[in-house]
Structure 1
Amino acid sequence: MIGITGATGHLGHLTIQALLDGGTPASEIVAIVRSPEKAADLAAKGVQVRHGDYAQPSTLSAALEGLDKLLLISSNDAADRLTPHLHVVEAARQAGVKLLTYTSILRADSSPLVLATDHKATEEAIRAAGLPFVFLRNGWYLENYNLPQAVQVGAIAGSAGEGRVSAASRADYAAAAAAVLTQPGQENKIYELGGDESFTLGELAAEVSAQSGKAVVYQNLPQEAYAGMLKGFGLPAPLAEMLADSDVWLEKGELYTSRRDLSTLIGRPTTSMQAGVQAALKG
């Protein structure tokens, strides 16, 4: 039995679909969700849906019962990812999960990004729990950029300068998760995952311009100004500050990788920036 936390989120949903497409029977997949009513489409495919909330440890014992493998998709709580993760790790230990796969961040053990702090601590907690693990150290997602909005305002803003980012699509990262959950011999492996090709945000803006037919430029801002702009758009302060911090470190190469762990795992090239732009603009 394979459990997927956060199964109604983008990455969780895509991972379940990748498992199904790869031949894993729906009866062997458990979707662990905070709101079971939102997983009706998964239940209709024969996937077992269980209630499990990161923030409510009492729900996790039943959710993880009988699982052989578990994919812990990291929390999206920018203020505190670690506490919910620790709840799941402890529940997995008590449930006797044989393989805990965790979606971390690129070079989590050495990354200076604020975002990496909770990921590093989660990895350490998984090791301390004595659980066989796989760390999927995901790089940036192509979907992190709101490109339709960029077309509307004529700009992509950031603090990344001429830094290069090795971004890939959510579907690429989901395919990698499905691969490690179904392939033997994955215990205690660490994968540094990123797109085969890197790009600058200026190059991204130029591609959006070319595909949309509208002028889109890259606007480079100081970190505080970029964070302030994001807060002005309604983003919570911790998230806005984390994104601005990530851009500053992007400029310094911390979201770039030359490794091909991702394309090797999924058995094909990763989604190109050009294809990502096309998908985003089609909606």
Structure 2
Amino acid sequence: MRYMITGASGQLGTHVLAALSARIPKADITALVRREDAASALAAQGYHTAIASYDDVDALTKAFDGIDRLLLISGSEVGQRARQHGNVVAAAKAAGVGFVAYTSLLQAHRSPMLLAAEHKATEEALAASGVPHALLRNGWYSENMLAGLDHALANGTMIGASGTGRYASAPRHDYAEAAAIVLAGGDHAGKIYELAGDASYTGAELAGMVAQASGKPVTYIDLPPTEYKAALVGAGIPDGFADVLVDSSVRAGEGWLDDRSKDLSRLLGHPTEPMAVTVRNAL
């Protein structure tokens, strides 16, 4: 059996490689990356490697030759992902890949989040392809919530536009372990997993965790969306990405990043890492 992970040198992909290689021999795993230097680094660790961009269907089809089970990790180019993921799906079908797992978004089929549209389009492409597949609808990564940790500690504030909305986040390594479990085998074709942390928290509760762990006063300030965007742009965030972040925060306020299914911990066979632990680790 041959396994492949796309985006294998990325933030999630590296965790998936580690989790999968704990379950199956590295000799059976191929890491798909876009750059020669990334391929060389992973080859030195004992993985087979292949180089292809999500933009190149021919290169993808060649890379997928002989692959039985594929993990499609969603790309990072927001606005290009529906087309790029469609290329991956077409190449997987052409190469005869037997199973695809895809890292989607919580409730992607009905979520109003800006980020959801491309995931929904990818899910539809997979359904139309006829390739057996599973949807790993990942919730928010806990690391996303700590991107401004240095600023919070320096200024004593964390900002957002989510009000009292709750985030059921988990760290990347939990999502990666779940992806590795699904990819490694078992009856997952046709399954949809809504993956999120076991416990949820608000922006104010997160600020309290940071304050407790750091010993410094940190409070959460909820801003109107326009003011939140202005603050992000003022901090150097590109305008388009700031729109995505603001939308995500507002939608979290509406409940779209909360989830009580516990699909993730059931897949893992253990509880997800609590946010307070992630905060302590980050500090």
TM-score norm. by structure 2 comes to 0.96
The whole-number CA distance in structure 2 between the counterparts of 1:152 and 1:91 is 48
1:132 alignment counterpart: 132
The whole-number CA distance in structure 2 between the counterparts of 1:225 and 1:60 is 43
2:178 alignment counterpart: 176
Q: Does 1:4 align with 2:25?
A: no
Q: Decide which moves more: 194-203 or 216-225.
A: 216-225
The whole-number CA distance in structure 1 between the counterparts of 2:268 and 2:119 is 23
Q: Indicate the SS of the match to 1:32.
A: strand
The whole-number CA distance in structure 1 between the counterparts of 2:229 and 2:79 is 15
* Structure 1 residue 224: Cα displacement: 1.8
Matches within 5 A, 1:194-213: 194-213=196-215
Contact 1:168–1:271 (8 Å) recurs in 2: yes
Q: Does 1:20 align with 2:21?
A: yes
Q: Indicate the SS of the match to 1:114.
A: coil
The whole-number CA distance in structure 1 between the counterparts of 2:194 and 2:213 is 31
The aligned amino acid for 1:16 is L
Q: Indicate the SS of the match to 1:49.
A: strand
Unaligned runs of 5+ in 2: none
1:38 alignment counterpart: 38
The whole-number CA distance in structure 1 between the counterparts of 2:251 and 2:110 is 13
Runs of 4+ in structure 1 displaced over 4 angstroms? none
Q: Does 1:72 align with 2:60?
A: no
The whole-number CA distance in structure 1 between the counterparts of 2:261 and 2:156 is 33
The whole-number CA distance in structure 2 between the counterparts of 1:270 and 1:109 is 24
Q: Indicate the SS of the match to 1:184.
A: coil
Q: Does 1:256 align with 2:258?
A: yes
The whole-number CA distance in structure 2 between the counterparts of 1:29 and 1:148 is 37
* Structure 1 residue 152: Cα displacement: 2.1
* Structure 1 residue 80: Cα displacement: 2.4
Contact 2:61–2:95 (8 Å) recurs in 1: yes
The whole-number CA distance in structure 2 between the counterparts of 1:237 and 1:151 is 25
Matched length: 280
1:228 alignment counterpart: 230
TM-score norm. by structure 1 comes to 0.96
Q: Deviations over 1:122-160 (max 9, x none)?
A: 100110011101100000010002223321232111101
Contact 2:39–2:51 (8 Å) recurs in 1: no
* Structure 1 residue 220: Cα displacement: 0.8
2:193 alignment counterpart: 191
Unaligned runs of 5+ in 1: none
